Amino acid sequence: MAFLSACKGETSTETQTVTKTVGAGSTVTVTQTAGAGSTVTVTQPGTTVTGTGGGTAPAGLLHLIVNNIDYWGVVEPQWTLAYVLREKLGLTGTKRGCDAGDCGYCTVIMDGVPIESCIYLAIEADGKKIETVEGFNQSDKLTPLQQAFIDNDGLQCGFCTPGMLMTAKALLAFKPKATEAEIREHMAGVLCRCGSYMTIIKSIQSMTA
């Protein structure tokens, strides 16, 4: 099932219906209409549950707010947030390295806090506000943080850069005048296989001056 999306305040007539087998001959039919405030109706044999878009997802219908865009979709309980972002929403800026919570490449910001999306189940992200590296593309200009990485050679191959940017963004939002020691401690969870640590720290430090 594809995810439907709609920007905040946008009225969308996009609809889709999906029927899933949920075991023992029982099925759940989901009919959904994209758009903030739209109504989502879930019908199971003998039961009808009605929810409102933006509220809690009924019967496995996930609602994610990614970079200020609403998405709804049915997810499998074992799917990670990184998998849904990349494979279902097409937001491949979030990278997967270890898939075990060790490298930090998959870091996204959830409700202001950086998290490793490869070890975070998508169903636990229901109703949460998520920022990915694609959220930097709000205009045709680079953000100051992106520019700082370029000006200070804060990357080589760039594979770790989405995780570095999201982790640094969360730190600077929380602590705009972070010291070098605080930057080093906060960034310790994101590895750089190219070894660009010195210039990455310098890039972030340039934002605190």
Could you tell me the CA-to-CA distances from 1 to 17, 156, 192 in Å, in that order? 9, 37, 35
Measured from the CB atom, is 113 or 157 closer to ligand FES? 157
In the bound state with ligand FES, the residue whose beta carbon lies nearer, of 18 and 98, is 98
Nearest distance from C-beta of residue 209 to ligand FES, angstroms: 23
> Is 106 one of the binding residues for ligand FES (CB under 6 A)?
yes
E strands within the chain? 4-7, 11-23, 26-35, 39-44, 47-52, 61-66, 69-74, 107-110, 113-116, 129-131
CB burial string 8-46: b at 16+ within 10 A, e below: eeeeeeeeeeeeeeeeeeeebebebbbbbebebbbbeee
Nearest to 183 by CA among 150, 154, 157, 159: 154
CA-nearest of 70, 81, 129 to 106 is 81
Comparing CB distances to ligand FES, the nearer of 33 and 132 is 132
CB of 94 to ligand FES, least distance (A): 9
Q: Which of 84, 103, 187, 207 binds ligand FES (CB under 6 A)?
A: 103
Q: What CA–CA distance (Å, rounded) separates 124 from 120? A: 7
- Residue 146 is which amino acid? Q
Q: Mark the segment that binds ligand FES (CB under 6 A) among 10-18, 26-34, 46-54, 94-102.
A: 94-102
| Under rule CB under 6 A, residue 130 binds ligand FES | no
Nearer to ligand FES, 62 or 106 (CB): 106
| Region from 13-21, 131-139, 169-177, 188-196 binding ligand FES, contact rule CB under 6 A | 188-196
Place of tokens 């019967």: 59
Residue whose CB is less far from ligand FES, 36 or 119: 119
Name the token pair of 92.
Answer: 């491949």
For ligand FES, which stretch binds (CB under 6 A), given 13-21, 70-78, 103-111, 144-152? 103-111
Q: What angle do CA 52, 120, 171 make, to 5 degrees?
A: 100
CA 80 – CA 72 distance, rounded (Å)? 15
Using CB under 6 A, pick the residue from 110, 155, 166, 204 that binds ligand FES: 155
Among 93, 104, 114, 135, binds ligand FES (CB under 6 A): 104
Q: Number of residues interacting with ligand FES: please give it, by CB under 6 A.
A: 22
Per CB under 6 A, residues contacting ligand FES are 96-99, 101-106, 116, 118, 155-160, 192-194, 196
